[in-house]
Structure formats: C-alpha cells, structure tokens
C-alpha cells in the first residue's frame, strides 16, 4: 500500500496499490524484462511548494529519480516505461479564471520528471474532476484504475 507523498518499489509477484488519488498523481514505473516496478503518489508539482521536511515522493522531481535508483538495486536493467494516473481538478469552481489547477500542474510535473529520466509515458488516465485508485500488478505490468466516474479502466 502506497500512501500520499510515498512510493514503493518491488518485483513480481507483488502488487502495488494506492487509493484516493484526486489532484495528486500516481506515477507507475515498470521494467517488463525484469518485472520490477515502482509506484509513487505525488502530492505537489515541485518540492519548493512545501516549507516542511520533504518525504521522498512528495513531488515528481524527487520521486522519479529515487524510484529508478531503487529499481536498479532490484536488478532492473532494461527499459523502464511510465503510466500516469490522477491530476484531477477537484475544486474547479474555486479557481481564478485562467489559473491551472493543482492537478494540471501535477500532471505537467510528472511528465517532466519522466522526460528528464528518459522514461517514456506509455499510458495516462489523467485530468477530469474525479478521484481514482490504482492496483499495479508486477507479474505482468497490468494496471487497473478504479473510479466511480469511469468504472474500471485497464491502463
């Protein structure tokens, strides 16, 4: 179970799960050859937006490098791919017209962190105005996104 501002790295046959993804973004990384994966539940688009001590997965820019490093320690030597989930605009009516929601900013930050690590994003279920939960199976890399708004989506 991966909590908010946290991450986990494991190999098959483990499953990684995170619940309650609203404006946060879940970043799922997977190496198909070694069946090593990682899942982070990022909270903020940048670590400088918080004055307190940073958990390693509070932002995408800190989570992705740490996840890749731990994946390499578990013998991931192949190509890593990413999938992004979440980044909803949960309180759109409260936004100043033209302002980007926290969710949209988290999506942009997650894409940028993956690009900086040369990790292609191969799937996304992002945006909207609804929460999501994720179950990530490291046996085969399948990722199930659950939401009340869209039901179950295989990503």
Catalytic residues, which ones?
24
Neighbours of 45 (CB within 10 A): 25
Q: What is the 3-state secondary structure (H, E, C) of 30-57?
A: EECCCCEEEEEEECECCHHHCCCCCCCC
Give CA 143 to chain center in angstroms.
Answer: 12
> What's the token pair of residue 32?
């198909």
Which of 16, 5, 100 lies closest to 60 in space, CA to CA? 5
Q: If you write DSSP's letter for every residue of 124-140 in order, what string do you get?
A: EEE-SS--EEEEEETTT
Q: Are 13 and 52 in contact (CB under 8 A)?
A: no
User: What is d(CA 84, CA 104) in angstroms, rounded to the nearest whole number?
Assistant: 12
């Amino acid at each position: 179970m991966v909590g908010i501002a946290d991450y986990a790295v494991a190999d098959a046959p483990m499953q990684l799960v995170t619940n309650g993804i609203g404006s946060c973004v879940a970043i799922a990384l997977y190496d198909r050859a070694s069946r090593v994966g990682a899942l982070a539940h990022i909270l903020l688009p940048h670590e400088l937006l918080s004055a307190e001590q940073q958990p390693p997965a509070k932002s995408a820019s800190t989570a992705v490098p740490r996840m890749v490093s731990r994946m390499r320690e578990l013998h991931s030597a192949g190509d890593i791919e990413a999938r992004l989930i979440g980044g909803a605009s949960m309180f759109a009516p409260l936004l100043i017209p033209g302002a980007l929601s926290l969710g949209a900013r988290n999506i942009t930050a997650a894409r940028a962190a993956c690009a900086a690590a040369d990790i292609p994003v191969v799937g996304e279920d992002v945006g909207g105005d609804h929460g999501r939960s994720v179950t990530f199976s490291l046996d085969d890399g399948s990722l199930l996104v659950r939401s009340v708004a869209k039901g179950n989506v295989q990503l």
